[in-house]
Amino acid sequence: MRPALSVIVPAWNEADYLADTLTALKRAAEQADIAIETIVVDNASTDATRAIALEHGARVVDESVRRIARVRNTGGRAAKAPGLVFVDADTRVEAVHLRAAHDALESDWAGGGAMITFDRMDGALQRLGLAGWNALSRRLHLAAGCFVFVRAGLHTDLGGFSEKVYAGEEIDYSRRLRRLARQRGLRFAVLDIPPVVSSARKVDWFRPWQHALVLFTFVLFPWAGRFRRLTWFWYRRPD
């Protein structure tokens, strides 16, 4: 049976989270009664990422270049389904998300995203930041990178995610896909459904001043995503 959705999971050393993500995906697909293929793009991992992916029935493709847009695009090229869903390796997707994305793509949607939440909330500042992002994403139609869905043909026509940037590729992608959707009489927006759940691991990894520094940098210098040194927040992990 040809899958209805290809779920693409970029993964660099994701042994701590990947099993839960893939288990949730399988359960979601069964509950939603949607045939999916799961593609884990192994981004030169040095831990058990590949083994875990294979144990959970995912197809593994390799991408050695450490640039998230390139990793997503590698998965997109390997996909066989008419609909693509890009999911981060620490994000838990439920049946409501797969069903909503599938139904949207079967109607007049080019693609879209979902609101997000975290597996734990530590304080008012985190809650305020999350609420701010969700409000902004819905108002400006910006999909968060942890859950993006799109028609496979439009993804190809768009040229995939821009590999000129090291971070923020989902923002650029959302804007370009929305323009293309408008040209073709289709919709691109954030779904009005419960949020997907991602881990709050960056709260543990980085101090509040580091989060503030990243926000300050990208507000003042929107082009910062083009430079690897300025996008350390997405590529550095604690030892």
Model pLDDT, residue 119? 84
Answer whether residue 123 shows pLDDT above 60: yes
Model pLDDT, residue 92? 95
Contact 133, 113 (CB under 8 A): no
Model pLDDT, residue 184? 96
φ, ψ for residue 91, nearest 5 deg = -115, 130
Domains (range + CATH), the chain: 5-200 (3.90.550.10)
Model pLDDT, residue 168? 86
pLDDT grade, residue 129 (50/70/90)?
confident
Model pLDDT, residue 158? 96
- Largest Cα–Cα distance of the chain, in whole Å? 50
What mean pLDDT value characterizes the chain?
Answer: 91
For the chain, what's the residue count? 239
Contact 112, 149 (CB under 8 A): yes
Model pLDDT, residue 27? 98
pLDDT in tens, 103-112: 999 999 999 9
Model pLDDT, residue 182? 96
pTM, two decimal places:
0.91
pLDDT in tens, 20-75: 999 999 999 999 999 999 999 999 999 999 999 999 999 999 999 999 999 999 99
How wide is the angle at C-alpha 66 spanned by C-alphas 64 and 71, nearest 5°?
75
DSSP string, 169-197: HHHHHHHHHHHHHHHTT-EEEE-SSPPEE
- Give the integer Cα–Cα distance in Å for 226 and 167: 7
Answer whether residue 90 shows pLDDT above 60: yes
